[in-house]
Amino acid sequence: MARITVEDCVLKVPNRFELVLLAAQRAREISAGSPLTLDRDNDKNPVVSLREIAEDGVKVDVLNANLIQNLQKHVEKDEPEEDNLDLLAAGDDLIGVESPSRRSLVEEEIADEVLAVGNEALGADGGMDADDDAVEADEAVGPAGDDAAAESADEEV
C-alpha cells in the first residue's frame, strides 16, 4: 500500500486500528460487488478502499455502521414500549384479534391440558407415578435396608 494513501486516511480517521477495520470492511463490500466511487487504476481492493476513504468517496459513518452490523451476532429488535402494548391490545380487542400476550396464555393453557391428558392416559394404562417407583424400590431393598437384602440374597443361593 502506498504510504501517501495511509497518511491521507489518517486525517479522516485518526485511529489507525479503526482505519484498518473500516478499510477492510470497504474492501469486502467492493469484493461483494459494491460500485466503486473512483477509478481502480489497477489497484487491489484494499488500496482502492483506502483511496476512497482518503478522498471522501465513502462516508466513514456509513462504513462504521456496516462494520458493526456485520460483526453483531445478536441483532436486537425494537420492542414496542409498554404504553404501545396497551394500545395494541385495546386495538386488537376492537377488531377481534388476540394480542400476543393473550396468545401466550392460550398456548400455556393448551400445554397444561395436553400434560393433564397425558398423565391421565399413563395412569389408566398402568403407568406408574414417582410414588409407585419409590414404593417398589423400598420393597426390593426391604425394611432393614441393604444389609437385609444382601442376607436374603445369600440365603436364596
Q: Which residue has the cell 398423565?
A: 119
Q: Is the pLDDT of residue 49 over 70?
A: yes
Share above pLDDT 90 across residues of the chain, in percent, rounded to a whole number: 27
pLDDT score at 8: 85
Predicted pLDDT of residue 146: 54
- By C-alpha distance, which of 104, 103, 101 is closest to 80? 101
Average pLDDT over residues 54-64: 90
Q: What is the pLDDT of residue 52?
A: 92
119-143 pLDDT, tens per residue? Answer: 777 775 455 555 555 555 555 555 5
Look at residue 42 and tell me whether its pLDDT is greater than 70: yes
Q: What is the pLDDT of residue 16?
A: 92
Spell out the domain ranges in the chain.
3-71, 101-156
Residue showing cell 441483532:
75
Q: What is the pLDDT of residue 154?
A: 55
Closest CA relative to residue 7, chosen from 48, 43, 54, 58: 54
Q: Please give the grid coordinates belonging to residue 147.
A: 444389609
Length reported for the chain:
157
What 8-state DSSP symbol labels residue 13? S
- Tell me what pLDDT residue 102 has: 57
Question: What does the pLDDT look like over 1-11, one tens digit per residue?
Answer: 566 678 888 88
Quick: pLDDT tens for 74-107.
767 766 566 666 666 665 555 555 555 555 666 7
Q: What's the 3-state SS for 98-126?
A: CCHHHHHHHHHHHHHHHHHHHHHHHHHCC
Between the CA of residue 36 and those of 51, 53, 68, 122, what are the distances in Å?
A: 11, 12, 21, 68
Topology at the third CATH level for domain 3-71 = Eukaryotic RPB6 RNA polymerase subunit (3.90.940)
| pLDDT above 70: percentage of residues in the chain | 56
- Separation between Cα atoms, residue 86 and residue 94, nearest integer Å: 13
Question: With b meaning 16 or more CB within 10 Å and e meaning fewer, what string describes 63-81?
Answer: beebbeeeeeeeeeeeeee
- pLDDT in the model for residue 139: 55
Q: What is the DSSP letter of 55?
A: T
